[in-house]
Amino acid sequence: MRLKDLDQNELQNLVSDWGEKPFHGRQIYAALFKRGVSTVEEMTDLPLRLRERLTAFEPLDLLKCSEMQSSPDGATKALFRLHDDLTIESVHIPEKEHATLCVSTQVGCPLACTFCATGKIGFKRNLTSGEIIDQVVQFRRLRTEPFLRNIVFMGMGEPLLNYDNLIKAIRVLSSSNGPALSQRRMTVSTAGVVPGIKQLANEGLNVKLAISLNAPVDDLRTQLMPINKKYPIDEVIEAAVFFQKINGYRITFEYTLMHGVNDKPEMIKALKTWLVRVPCKLNLIPINPIDKRKRKAPDWDAVFNRFYEVFQKERITLTLRRSRGSEIMAACGQLAGKIG
C-alpha cells in the first residue's frame, strides 16, 4: 500500500484503524496533495508517534524524475521512473499567466494509433491514481511559476481505459484539501471509447471532453485508429452528443492534419456533416511526425483556409494549434517514455 494511492476517506480510515483520530488522515492528505511534501519529516503538524509510524511508507513520491528536457518554445518534458522501472512522460506548457500540464494515464497504450509514438510501444500497465496525481504534485514543485492551472489527460495512454484511477485522480486533484484545481480546467482526451464517454457523462464531474477524431470516414479512421473498428464514427458522435447534453460544455474534436490523407476537400465536407450534430470546437493540429519519412503536415495557411471555407457558416470554432514541444518529442503523439 502507498499513501498517495489513497484518497481522504481511505487515509482517515487507515489512521482510525491505528486508533488515531480521523482528522490526522485529513492532515496527511493535505500534506501529500496540497503542500506536496516528499518526506514524513515535513508533516510537522502530526504527533511524533504517527510520523514514526508513517516512515514505513517512505518514499512518499511514486515517481522519480530522471530527466527533464526543455524546448525553445518553453515546453518542458519530464521523464518519470516508476517503482517497477517503467517510465512515463509529462509535458509542462507555460503560457504568460498560467501553465498547462499534459498528464499520462497509462504506461504505453493498447490502442496502437498509427501516427502515435506511444501506440508503437504497446501497453505495459495502467497508472495508479497516485501515479497520475504525482505528475501534478511533482510539477508543482519543479515549476512554481507560472501558476499550474490546466490539466489535460492527453499524455501517454487512453484515460478512459483506466477509468477508476482517472476518476479518483480527478477527485483528489480538485479537492479543496488537496491541490484544489478546478475541474473546469481539466480535459479528458479520448480516442473514442464510447462506453467510457457515457460513463464519464454520468459521473457528476465538471470536466471537459476532447475526442481525437482525425478522420471523417470509417475506412480511413480505422486505418489510423484501429479502435474505430469497435466504436465507429457514428457511435462516437452519438456519445459526444450524449455527453454534451448532460455536461453542457462544447466538445473539442482533435483533428491531426496529415497531408494528402485527411485534408482533402471531400474529407472536410464529410467532417462537417458529423460535427454540425453537436456543439463543438474543432482543433486542427498539424501532425508531429514520429518518422520524418512518413506522414507530413500540410501547408498551414492553405489547409486552414480550406477548412475555414467549409466551416465559416457553422457555429463551430476552428483553431489551428501548433503543438508545443515538438523539438523535444513532447508534442501530441510523440511521447514514447524516453528522452533524446
CB-based contacts of 228, cutoff 8 Å, min separation 6: 192, 215, 218, 221, 222
Residue 233 near residue 218 (C-beta atoms within 8 A): yes
Binding of ligand SF4 at residue 197 (CB under 6 A)? no
Binding of ligand SF4 at residue 333 (CB under 6 A)? yes
Binding of ligand SF4 at residue 158 (CB under 6 A)? yes
Specify the stretch interacting with ligand SF4 by CB under 6 A; choose among 59-67, 115-123, 142-150, 285-293: 115-123
Closest CA to 70 of 78, 62, 82, 59: 78
- Is 280 noted as a catalytic residue in this protein? no
Q: Which amino acid is at 174?
A: S
Binding of ligand SF4 at residue 211 (CB under 6 A)? no
Binding of ligand SF4 at residue 191 (CB under 6 A)? yes
Kindly state the cell numbers that stand for 158.
Answer: 487512453
Residues 111, 132, 258, 316: which binds ligand SF4 (CB under 6 A)?
111
Q: Which of 102, 109, 113, 332 is catalytic?
A: 332
Phi, psi for 87 (deg, rounded to 5): -130, 150
Question: Which secondary structure element, helix H or strand E, spans residue 307, and what is its range?
Answer: helix 300-311
CA separation for the pair 265, 267 (Å, rounded)? 5
Binding of ligand SF4 at residue 116 (CB under 6 A)? yes
- Smallest separation, CB 113 to ligand SF4 (Å): 3
Q: Which of 89, 131, 158, 254 is catalytic?
A: 89
- Is 145 noted as a catalytic residue in this protein? no
Residue of minimal Cβ distance to ligand SF4:
119
The Cα angle at residue 18 between residues 14 and 22, in degrees rounded to 5: 55
Q: Assign residue 175 a region: left if phi > 0, alpha if psi is -120 to 50, beta otherwise?
A: beta
Nearer to ligand SF4, 27 or 118 (CB): 118
Residue 287 near residue 303 (C-beta atoms within 8 A): no
Specify the stretch interacting with ligand SF4 by CB under 6 A; choose among 72-80, 105-113, 130-138, 139-147: 105-113
- Smallest separation, CB 196 to ligand SF4 (Å): 12
Binding of ligand SF4 at residue 224 (CB under 6 A)? no
Count of residues near ligand SF4 by CB under 6 A: 13
Give the count of alpha carbons within 13 A of 310, CB side only: 20
Specify the stretch interacting with ligand SF4 by CB under 6 A; choose among 31-39, 85-93, 109-117, 132-140: 109-117
Question: Which secondary structure element, helix H or strand E, spans residue 208, and what is its range?
Answer: strand 208-212
Query: Which residues participate in catalysis according to the annotation?
Result: 89, 332
By the criterion CB under 6 A, which residues form the site for ligand SF4? Answer: 109, 111-113, 116, 118-119, 156-158, 191, 212, 333
